[in-house]
Amino acid sequence: MPQPVSTVRIVGYGMTALGKLGRSASELMREALQKSLRSAGLQMKDLDGLVAVPSLSHPHFMEAHYLATQVGLLPHRGPGSVRVRTIDTGGAGPVSGLLEAARMVKDERCQAVAVVAGDAVSSLATPEFLARADQGCRDPENSLPSPCIPHGYDQVAQWQLRQGLLSREQLAMVSVLMSRQAAKHPLALTRKAHSLEDVLRSRKIAPATNLLECARRADGGAAIIVASSNFMDEYMGHDLVSSEDGVSSARLGPVAATGGLVVLGGGEASGPLYPPEEIDESMFSCEAAAASAFSEAQLLPEDLQWFGLYDCYPICFLRALEACGVTPKGTAGAWVEEMFWKTESGYDAGDFPINTHGGLLAFGAPWEVPAMYNIIEACEQLRGTATGRQVPSVRRALVYGNGGIFSHSAVAILAQPV
Ligand code: CAA
């Protein structure tokens, strides 16, 4: 009998609280992993793959092996084998991890793979955070001033300002928009929408970047479970629980029970680790990553109803709008301004179906974790469970993760099961 065609699905997801939590990155990873397993209805022993993203606050040699050993996945004692991989593509890590997990399911015949990220950068004192963050992003040839990351993004923002493609206000409007979205999400750190003046008058961090235009540092962990639909149907279908009245039902968790979310396609591309002295289009990679994802999914931007775009700084979000086909090249500034006015005095979620959780600028940004929030929010939107911020009729969604200073892009397209 030929096997029915299997699809790769996200069958579980979970996250910890966000904030200044005083807990280690590993603790946060473990809690997120347990929550994601519960939402799939799986147990640790059901996993035969684990992908982890390293943390800045509590780094470990071979992070995924460290975590797998802590949670008892290694040493492996059952039948078959377990594959464990650490992926470091910076903030793109969770989406790179999702795509790696999908390959492990498709090509290496894994049945269920967890992708886990966690960090505690809010609990790190600022000088220590900056020492570690600057070290990774400082080009010995062309030293960026500290804080290096905001200054690196600022150089790109200034380059686009000089080209006349944007205004300073349009950059700030991105932060206002993200705070309006965050105010509708119960777990977001930013509880109240900023005014444009709040953003423009907040402390200057770099020439065209103020404090409220920086990714909002946080501690937090998040995880997803990626599995083959065959495994969920067959293996879990056999694992029946009998209730008192004799009726049997599979013990699938709430996400898996509705079929999970299908991974339709993905793409990745890389740029230089540091912004070159002369910035030009060759340093950016989101365009190529998005083009691969659309090609693999055989879709166009207009086929999608929701977008989770990386927004560590407004310029990253603005470039992503164009790279992912939300708006044509050269028009992102004007598009954001239009959204700013459209959402000024109350709006429906469908009016602005992007980062309905508030993104890095307003939901919270535990270093390499936040792209996982894009994935989780995409899942909530696709399942119709984004209470208070649900975009109507979301059937397909795009998620984008960005690492370093535009140094790596990973894009995935997710869909409801047919
Ligand atoms: N929205 C709302 N509030 C914010 C905020 C935001 N976007 N950003 C900071 N704040 C708040 C903080 O929560 C804090 O509030 P409390 O006083 O109530 O605690 C207050 O403003 C001051 O912020 P900090 O404590 O962070 O201020 P600081 O002077 O210690 O540090 C800073 C300032 C150096 C700019 C630091 O905030 C910073 O470095 N931020 C950027 C973090 C960053 O770059 N993350 C990585 C993004 S790049 C990426 O994601 C790619 C990758 O590969 C990792």
Which residue from 399, 402, 401, 397 is spatially nearest to 412, judged by alpha carbons? 399
Query: Would you call 194 helix, strand, or coil by DSSP?
Result: coil
Spatial separation of the C-alpha atoms in residues 135 and 304, rounded to whole Å: 38
Residue nearest to atom 47 of ligand 1 (CA): 312
- Report the separation in Å between the CA atom of 217 and the middle of ligand 1, taken as the mean of its atom positions: 5
* Contact (Cβ atoms closer than 8 angstroms) between residue 175 and residue 197: no
User: Beta strand pairing status for 49-52 and 112-120?
Assistant: parallel
Per DSSP, 282 falls in state G
Spatial separation of the C-alpha atoms in residues 414 and 398, rounded to whole Å: 6
Neighbours of 245 (CB within 10 A): 5
pLDDT tops 70 at residue 131: yes
* Contact (Cβ atoms closer than 8 angstroms) between residue 305 and residue 397: yes
Mean pLDDT of 49-53: 98
Q: What is the pLDDT of residues 384-396, one digit of tens each?
A: 999 999 999 999 9
AA identity, residue 11:
V
Spatial separation of the C-alpha atoms in residues 374 and 310, rounded to whole Å: 8
Which residue is it, tokens 């044509």?
A: 328
Backbone angles phi and psi of 286, in degrees to 5: -65, -35
Q: What is the pLDDT of residues 319-330, one digit of tens each?
A: 999 999 999 999
Two structure tokens written together for 310: 């990386």
- For ligand 1, is residue 406 a contact (CB within 6 Å)? no
- For ligand 1, is residue 312 a contact (CB within 6 Å)? yes
How many Å separate Cα 133 from the centre of its chain? 19
Spatial separation of the C-alpha atoms in residues 78 and 48, rounded to whole Å: 10
pLDDT tops 90 at residue 294: yes
Chain-wide mean pLDDT for the chain?
94
- For ligand 1, is residue 250 a contact (CB within 6 Å)? no
**CB-count burial class (<10 Å; 0-12, 13-18, 19+) for 102:** buried
Mean pLDDT of 237-263: 70
Q: What is the pTM of this model?
A: 0.96
